[in-house]
């Protein structure tokens, strides 16, 4: 075990995937000679050659279409779309072909490919460089959508994604690329894809978060403890498929829930999560489920992003709005749990 950043973990995940399977190809804008703008592919071209790790033109739609053809031909392409909003020109390929090929061919043509998308704010980037685009992919049937919040998860979820027989959109929180933790990547300690994990146990309320919002939720839980409120933090990790079991068990136990996301609030992933919690936990709730999200405006200039991004203070405010004097309607709890 040693100190590792998320960027180093992703680099190791790609290196080990290339070593394990010679059908794996890594490509995108600047991923070869430069090693990627965030250095996630640093050294891979020198180690595996320019036939397996290479640069492409600045043409995201063509890049993803090229990957579709490679996957149909038996390869396992891993595509990097340099920044979140750069992926939009490729969305037609993703929604119309990547997501639908297995269904369109009655299962005869799967597309084992990974689309890596650095996403989210917090790095002082301008628009096109700080979008949270997860709702577009999560709303598209046929795609798995994954977003790690720790270096260990980044490594193992990426390894899972490359091995997956179906397409995976792998959302990498940019502001966590340089976060450090003590982790041993040689032996798996991470939960499998499709499972949420409890990062901090608690009894009074549940914070549901994913990707860049997980450290914010943990910091808010620590601050809430100073006020005598014991908050549980659940890291969702995988948006599609969604782990209803872990989420429901936590909310039924605490009776209160706040969902935290960087993306705009309106019609976002958080709205879907709130609906699922309300449907499954209604009689266990002592208060309405609250969302803390980015504002419904285009991503602001760097000097204003601190006001846009959900921070600890906004999450704490939501926790304090959870009506701690109320209790759930216990008459219906047994029926809800069955």
Active-site residue set: 129
Contact in structure between 13 and 158 (CB atoms under 8 Å) = yes
Alpha-carbon distance values, 36 to 31, 40, 146 (Å)? 4, 6, 20
Contact in structure between 176 and 167 (CB atoms under 8 Å) = no
Q: How far apart are CA 1 and CA 182, in angstroms?
A: 6
- Here the tokens at position 323 are 């009506």
For tokens 């008459």, name the residue. Answer: 331
Sheet holding 197-200, edge to edge: 197-200, 231-235, 205-209, 257-264, 290-294
Q: Cβ contacts of residue 295 below 8 Å, gap of 6+? A: 264, 265, 308
H/E stretch holding 249 reads helix 244-254
């Amino acid at each position: 075990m040693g100190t590792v950043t998320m960027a180093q973990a992703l680099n190791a995940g790609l290196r080990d995937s290339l070593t394990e399977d010679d059908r794996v190809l890594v490509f995108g804008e600047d991923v070869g000679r430069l090693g990627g703008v965030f250095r996630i592919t640093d050294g891979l071209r020198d180690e595996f050659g320019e036939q397996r790790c290479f640069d492409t033109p600045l043409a995201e739609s063509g890049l993803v279409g090229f990957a579709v053809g490679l996957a149909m031909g038996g390869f396992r392409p891993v595509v990097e779309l340099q920044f979140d909003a750069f992926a939009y020109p490729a969305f037609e390929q993703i929604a119309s072909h990547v997501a639908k090929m297995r269904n369109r061919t009655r299962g005869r043509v799967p597309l084992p490919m990974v689309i890596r998308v650095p996403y989210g704010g917090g790095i002082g980037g301008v628009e096109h460089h700080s979008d949270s685009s997860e709702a577009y992919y999560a709303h598209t049937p046929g795609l798995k959508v994954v977003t790690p919040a720790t270096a260990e998860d980044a490594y193992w979820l990426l390894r899972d994604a490359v091995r997956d027989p179906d397409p995976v959109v792998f959302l990498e929180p940019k502001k966590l690329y340089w976060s450090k933790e003590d982790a041993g990547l040689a032996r798996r300690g991470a939960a499998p894809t499709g499972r949420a994990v409890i990062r901090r146990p608690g009894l009074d309320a549940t914070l549901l978060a994913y990707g860049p919002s997980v450290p914010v939720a943990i910091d808010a839980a620590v601050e809430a403890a100073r006020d005598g409120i014991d908050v549980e933090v659940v890291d969702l990790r995988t948006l599609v498929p969604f782990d209803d079991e872990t989420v429901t068990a936590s909310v039924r136990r605490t009776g209160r829930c706040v969902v935290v996301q960087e993306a705009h609030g309106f019609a976002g992933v958080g709205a879907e999560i709130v609906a699922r919690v309300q449907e499954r936990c209604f009689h266990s709730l002592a208060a309405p489920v609250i969302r803390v999200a980015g504002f419904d405006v285009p991503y602001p200039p760097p000097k204003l992003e601190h006001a846009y991004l959900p921070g600890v203070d906004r999450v704490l405010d939501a926790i304090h709005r959870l009506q701690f004097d109320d209790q759930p309607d216990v008459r219906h709890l047994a029926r809800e749990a069955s």
